[in-house]
Structure 1
Amino acid sequence: MALEDKTLKLCSCNKTIPIDAVALARALKSAAPIMVHTELCRREIEHFNSALKDDACVIGCTQEAPLFSELAQQAGARSALKFVNIREAAGWSAEGAQATPKIAALLALADAPESEPVPGIRFNSGGHVLVIGPAEAALDWAERLSAELEVSVLIARARGEAGPRRIDAAELPAQRGYPVWSGRPKSVTGWLGAFDVEWEQENPIDLDLCTRCNACIRACPESAIDYAYQIDMDKCRSHRQCVKACAGIGAIDFKRADSARSERFDLVLDLSAEPLLRVAHLPQGYLAPGADPLEQALAAAKLQALVGEFETPGFVTYNERICAHGRSGKLGCTRCIDTCSTRAISSAGQKVVVEAHLCAGCGGCATVCPSGAMSYRYPRVPDLGGRIRRLLRTYAEAGGRDACLVFHDGEATLDVLMKLARRGRGLPARMMPLEVFHPASVGIDVLLGAIAYGASQVVLLVSEKQDADYGEAMRSQLGHAQTILAGLGYAGAHVHVVASERMAAMERELWGLAPAATVPEPATFNLSPEKRTSLEFAIEHLARHAPAPKDEIGLSRGAPYGRVEVNQQACTLCMSCVGACPVSALADSPERPQLRFIERNCVQCGLCVNT
């Protein structure tokens, strides 16, 4: 596949990458010979500068991307630059000499159309931070942060501590420079720029009203009041001398009726030993470093960067019309709610609600959604499918065999892949890495689509944290895909989750994968924005070319396909099940009293049964 109207600059990185220029030119269908440099970023930099006169330039190096970009900017070049990693992804490998098809495929991706931009989700943070935690730590960090941020403090005791006790022996500042409250946190909800915090004021002393005159401290015969104006109820003997001393101010009330308090903040610094928010992924703007002083310092340093206007992609779209969550007051599918690690998805009667400000972009909801009501768009499935098809087609045309796609993110797993190339055996020549925002977004439609396009295998490379959060959801989808492939007679294990952040373990697993059977004729269809349509295309193609075609394949519980069993003697043909079905798998007949079932539409949500 030729790189249309693009200048290609390749470098062997001081002859450490074995590049066959002739074979590569043939694989890329290049009319002109391909020149391979050895020190493009150093002694041969003029060759790069000369390429800046062209409209577009593809550079086979990502390490020196900042240098090349700076040179292009200094030269005022109009050339569009694209950088492709052929070193760690292909050349630095125990099979680097056989990696020409992979290098060609990776370079061909530089010619892929850009994905359509997705709508952004806006955040606005004015820098009002609430510091929650034990008095000593909370007041200390409030003092440090108050010069740069608008600060408030909630002195809170440890989770699980019983009874309204004294917090600790910290002392409030001599100057009232920011609000200080105390109490038991009840809830924290929201996101960057809009955190709503509720707490219950248990301390009899209202710190808003308190003038810090210390009259109560001097009056208390048991010394039960400290200089943070917290009363130790174990010491207090209810003499109420403090109440008398504060009579003119009225800050002390042991029988306060209204103890509920709430405020809104832009940021939260939670210094509790355990975060008050217990979710796998904390929302942006909520920092919970725990009790470790170093982690607290790192978190405090991040706060200043979280002031201003921000935007994140709108990762998912939701189509209520085909959602199988509920109908007529009956509950059906809850897969997206169960999978979401940020609690961004909640039930709202017959539908679900997605709070985009909480979405972290994992895409797990779209992966487990059986109907396609949740769809991922960073990138959209058709865009990702186009990249996969281009990659596999170029690889095959260049003579590559048994292609394996390795999906990884741009952080933890990418770092391990880089180390694997620098310190270990690298990736096998047949394994092509493809970066996505999050591996959990790769659903069964993409998995089976990739196999239909000619891939031998698909690997989801995940970190240990990602595996803990989404491993069950990913493996269930892989299990359904593998069952379908095995049922059609395709030998071998086609889909895998490799969960490791340790180089040796990852190397052992990747190099230990034996190729699986491939489809004899790669598919040419495009993946659809509609999940069921993509699945239909992929399964039909795989079935058409199956080594052992079958009319029926048994799937495990939770699969996105299946049938319903109707007791014909008990059915009254009331058609309530037809009205409840969100995907038209059940239908009546306009010509006669008849209940019809369309198996290809059924998502096994159970709404018909519940209705």
Structure 2
Amino acid sequence: MPLEPKTLGAALAEPQPLTLHSSLCRREAPAFQRALGSGDDIVVACTQEKRLFTELAEQTPGAAEAGSVIRFVNIRETGGWSRDARSAMPKIAALLAAAHLPDPEPVATVGYASQGRLLIVGPLDEAERAAALVGESLDITIFSQGPGSAGGMQERRYPVIAGRIASLAGWLGAFKLGWTRDNAIDLDLCTRCNACVVACPEQAIGLDYQIDNSKCTSHRDCERACRVAGAVDFARAPESLDAAFDLVLDLGAAPLIDWHAPPQGYFHLAAGLANPEGLQTLLRLRELVGEFEKPKFFDYKQKLCAHSRNEVVGCNACIEVCSAHAISSDTARQRIVVNPNLCVGCGACSTVCPTGALGYTYPRTPDQGRKMRTLLSTYAKAGGRDATLLLHSEERGQALIGELGRAAQLGRARGVPANVMPLALMHVASVGIDLWLSAIAFGASQIAVLTTGDEAPQYVAALQQQMDMAQTLLRGLGYAGTHFHLIEANTPAALDAALAGLGATRQQLPAQAARFAVGAEKRSTLELVLDHLIDEAPALKAAPAVQALAIALPAGAPFGAITVDKDTCTLCLACVSACPASALLDNANAPQLRFIEKNCVQCGLCESTCPEDSIALVPRLLAGPERKQQVVLNEAKPWACVRCSKPFGTQKAIEAMLGRLAGHAMFQGEALERLKMCSDCRVIDLFSAQNETRITDP
């Protein structure tokens, strides 16, 4: 790789010239071992020899006592192996600077416990072959779904059950199967002697030892042939049963759990066992016995949640996007519920959440923002231009970039361009508009998100929706160009072509890079980003007289206003109590409905709650100081109590109520008149009327 010590040293603020090692993992290894003794944190720009460096650290005397933290970063496939390698020093400096950042704080964990109780569902012959391959390490039960091509073995090695599956739910260590046993042959009593198979004149009994009722014509020859074992009994009533398992291997043609992200511990092999994937799955099953942990990928703050108020549903974005079925609605408690055992850590829920009630923790948003700002500021300091962040997954995305780098080194591809900085994520759906726009504010020219075909369709749709929204916002503010790209590639050639196309146009950016720190609260971060983008907006600088710019956004955007039909609105203020973001406010001194646009998340709870259907959502961004100010959406004259003249309610609301109840039998005469009184006078008048009745009663 071509490396320039002067450029890298200046960008990394090294007090002395850098020493670059070309064979550090072999004859220059003592230099690494000497660094271990310093106690300083060490960054090794070599991921391919991570195992060797780790072993060297373990074997170096005094290294453990010195306490150096070792981190690894790949600058070879991401920058050094590229046709642009000689121009990639700013990017390499940025990658090294980001690698120096401290590790994120540990997160809470979710535990699983598996005793190895394995349920195999499928044709009996294939299920028994799978059970034999798994071996004796697991406690196996087979749910037979027909005999298969060969039928079951004559030697019954494993418990076999059959019937109609009603339900299968759960996760690793906690699956529950519900089924109905409704066949005349009891598999617990069956000895597989085949007497019933031979005796049946309709050949209605297969080698799964179950009766096909569509073929059976009730000769009952099988029942007589099985008189000794008593396994066949047509008078046996159907029985509903359930059982618990730790693992499930599904060999059926159609999966029992048809989710894009099935629960951990559930494996579906539609292609059967005769392929590498099947053998790998069987090996993995043998390892899933014991206690396991995974990160708890999310934080939930109910007070910020816009899902439900007063049993009225508003925002459903997280429930609709989750491919793991980990999120459900609990309107009784005005919240959503996330099952941490089902959550797979995609982070899509936090990306589409308009309020930040769901936050991603692996890593947390401030850590991710710090890394982006470090990458971009170091890149700019080293003289880099037109920075592009390439967000990719830690698994398939990272492997694809590695394949592209090797192809470039062999002269078969261009490789990762000098201005494109890869940034690995647990899942590409875990980062959305708040961090993308922050990166633009920090100086990124473009944000590219790499999808490889492994993502759920709703994740890709959500990412595209977020990109359309962010791009509309930037263009409305006058930032020319295309700043966001959703790349779909699953081969090095496709990725190479997509990355080459990113440099086709120039993008307009804020004249000054932002210096704020990304916070833990999503809306607070968005406000900081928007303030900076609005302050630097070319559209407003080109027209200084324009105080505010209203940018129409697509439906579903987390910014906007509402309109109120003043002719139908009665100022009942039900919308105020429904608003989870304090965007709608009342006035303690007058009948008024007030609104603060910057607080509105467009959840729709006010629109759904309004009994008069007077409210409509207006997705937009108001680029001006007015979006932070209270505005009056509706106001009315107060109604004065007919007894004490104290104002209460509004004229329109009281008149509407009187009109609706005037024909009701319970509200005639004095009862109707009391509706015109305040609550205190209503009680006094009712009490006085009751006393008068007692006095005049003969």
TM-score (norm 1): 0.92
Distance 1:297 1:60, change over 3 A: closer
Q: Which amino acid aligns with 1:306?
A: L
Moved more, 548-557 or 235-244: 235-244
Alignment of 1:49-448 (within 5 A): 49-55=33-39, 56-76=41-61, 77-78=63-64, 79-157=68-146, 170-175=151-156, 177-212=157-192, 214=194, 216-217=196-197, 219-246=199-226, 251-254=231-234, 256-292=236-272, 293-294=274-275, 295-349=277-331, 350-423=334-407, 424-448=413-437
CA shift for structure 1 position 446 = 0.4
| Equivalent residue, structure 2, for 1:20 | 4
Q: Provide, for residues 247-294 of structure 1, a one-character-per-residue CA deviation record: whole Å limited to 9, x for no partner.
A: 676543435443322211000011112221111112211111113322
Does the 8 Å CA contact 2:176/2:244 hold for their aligned counterparts? yes
Which of the pair has more CA radius of gyration? 2
Moved more, 213-222 or 398-407: 213-222
CA shift for structure 1 position 468 = 3.1
Measured in 1, the distance between the counterparts of 2:135 and 2:103 equals: 44
Moved more, 565-574 or 178-187: 178-187
Does the 8 Å CA contact 1:206/1:252 hold for their aligned counterparts? yes
Does the 8 Å CA contact 2:126/2:148 hold for their aligned counterparts? no
CA shift for structure 1 position 18 = 1.0
Measured in 2, the distance between the counterparts of 1:85 and 1:361 equals: 24
| Equivalent residue, structure 2, for 1:470 | 459
Q: Provide, for residues 148-168 of structure 1, a one-character-per-residue CA deviation record: whole Å limited to 9, x for no partner.
A: 2100000125xxxxxxxx766
Moved more, 544-553 or 226-235: 226-235
| Equivalent residue, structure 2, for 1:9 | none
Residue 555 of structure 2 corresponds to residue 557 of structure 1: yes
Moved more, 213-222 or 183-192: 213-222
Does the 8 Å CA contact 1:172/1:228 hold for their aligned counterparts? no
Measured in 2, the distance between the counterparts of 1:466 and 1:211 equals: 47
Does the 8 Å CA contact 2:133/2:282 hold for their aligned counterparts? no
Measured in 2, the distance between the counterparts of 1:95 and 1:474 equals: 29
Choose which of 525, 531, 539 in structure 2 pairs with 1:548: 539
Does the 8 Å CA contact 1:275/1:288 hold for their aligned counterparts? yes
Does the 8 Å CA contact 1:489/1:546 hold for their aligned counterparts? yes
Moved more, 433-442 or 242-251: 242-251
Greater RCO structure (CA 8 Å; 6+ sep)? 1
Measured in 1, the distance between the counterparts of 2:227 and 2:154 equals: 23
Q: Provide, for residues 3-50 of structure 1, a one-character-per-residue CA deviation record: whole Å limited to 9, x for no partner.
A: xxxxxxxxxxxxxx1111112111111111101122111222222222
> Partner of 2:186: helix, strand, or coil?
coil
> Partner of 1:455: helix, strand, or coil?
coil
Q: Which amino acid aligns with 1:326?
A: S
Does the 8 Å CA contact 1:156/1:185 hold for their aligned counterparts? no
| Equivalent residue, structure 2, for 1:10 | none
Q: Provide, for residues 112-170 of structure 1, a one-character-per-residue CA deviation record: whole Å limited to 9, x for no partner.
A: 1321111011011111100000111112222333522100000125xxxxxxxx76651
Q: Provide, for residues 62-98 of structure 1, a one-character-per-residue CA deviation record: whole Å limited to 9, x for no partner.
A: 1111111101101141332121211111111211111
| Equivalent residue, structure 2, for 1:504 | 493
Does the 8 Å CA contact 1:145/1:151 hold for their aligned counterparts? no
Does the 8 Å CA contact 1:462/1:497 hold for their aligned counterparts? yes
Choose which of 496, 519, 533 in structure 2 pairs with 1:528: 519
Q: Which amino acid aligns with 1:196?
A: K
Does the 8 Å CA contact 1:402/1:518 hold for their aligned counterparts? no
Residue 610 of structure 2 corresponds to residue 608 of structure 1: no
CA shift for structure 1 position 576 = 1.1
Moved more, 177-186 or 574-583: 177-186
> Partner of 2:51: helix, strand, or coil?
helix
Measured in 2, the distance between the counterparts of 1:516 and 1:173 equals: 72
Does the 8 Å CA contact 2:260/2:456 hold for their aligned counterparts? no
> Partner of 1:260: helix, strand, or coil?
strand
Distance 1:217 1:422, change over 3 A: closer
| Equivalent residue, structure 1, for 2:644 | none
Measured in 2, the distance between the counterparts of 1:247 and 1:589 equals: 85
Q: Which amino acid aligns with 1:395?
A: Y
Distance 1:132 1:430, change over 3 A: same
Measured in 2, the distance between the counterparts of 1:340 and 1:457 equals: 27
Moved more, 207-216 or 351-360: 207-216
Q: Which amino acid aligns with 2:44?
A: I
| Equivalent residue, structure 1, for 2:530 | 539
> Partner of 1:512: helix, strand, or coil?
helix
Q: Which amino acid aligns with 2:257?
A: L
Measured in 2, the distance between the counterparts of 1:565 and 1:408 equals: 40
Distance 1:255 1:278, change over 3 A: farther
CA shift for structure 1 position 420 = 1.5
CA shift for structure 1 position 225 = 2.7
Does the 8 Å CA contact 1:520/1:545 hold for their aligned counterparts? yes
Measured in 1, the distance between the counterparts of 2:482 and 2:558 equals: 20
Q: Provide, for residues 544-598 of structure 1, a one-character-per-residue CA deviation record: whole Å limited to 9, x for no partner.
A: 0111125211111110111111111211111111111111111111221111111
Number of corresponding residues? 586
Q: Which amino acid aligns with 1:189?
A: A
Distance 1:497 1:467, change over 3 A: farther
Measured in 2, the distance between the counterparts of 1:578 and 1:351 equals: 18
Residue 475 of structure 2 corresponds to residue 486 of structure 1: yes
Q: Provide, for residues 435-454 of structure 1, a one-character-per-residue CA deviation record: whole Å limited to 9, x for no partner.
A: 11011011110011111111
Does the 8 Å CA contact 1:325/1:331 hold for their aligned counterparts? yes
Distance 1:515 1:464, change over 3 A: farther
Q: Provide, for residues 490-528 of structure 1, a one-character-per-residue CA deviation record: whole Å limited to 9, x for no partner.
A: 111111111111212211111111341121111111112
Does the 8 Å CA contact 2:182/2:238 hold for their aligned counterparts? no
Consecutive unaligned residues of structure 2, counting only runs of 5 or more, are 408-412, 541-547, 610-698
Measured in 1, the distance between the counterparts of 2:102 and 2:201 equals: 78
Measured in 1, the distance between the counterparts of 2:75 and 2:149 equals: 58
| Equivalent residue, structure 1, for 2:650 | none
Distance 1:252 1:325, change over 3 A: farther
Q: Which amino acid aligns with 1:529?
A: A
CA shift for structure 1 position 427 = 1.3
| Equivalent residue, structure 1, for 2:443 | 454
Distance 1:467 1:121, change over 3 A: closer
Does the 8 Å CA contact 1:93/1:425 hold for their aligned counterparts? yes
Measured in 1, the distance between the counterparts of 2:417 and 2:203 equals: 72
| Equivalent residue, structure 2, for 1:8 | none
Measured in 2, the distance between the counterparts of 1:249 and 1:579 equals: 70
Distance 1:146 1:25, change over 3 A: closer
> Partner of 2:259: helix, strand, or coil?
coil
CA shift for structure 1 position 538 = 0.3
> Partner of 1:464: helix, strand, or coil?
coil
Distance 1:100 1:602, change over 3 A: same
Residue 512 of structure 2 corresponds to residue 495 of structure 1: no
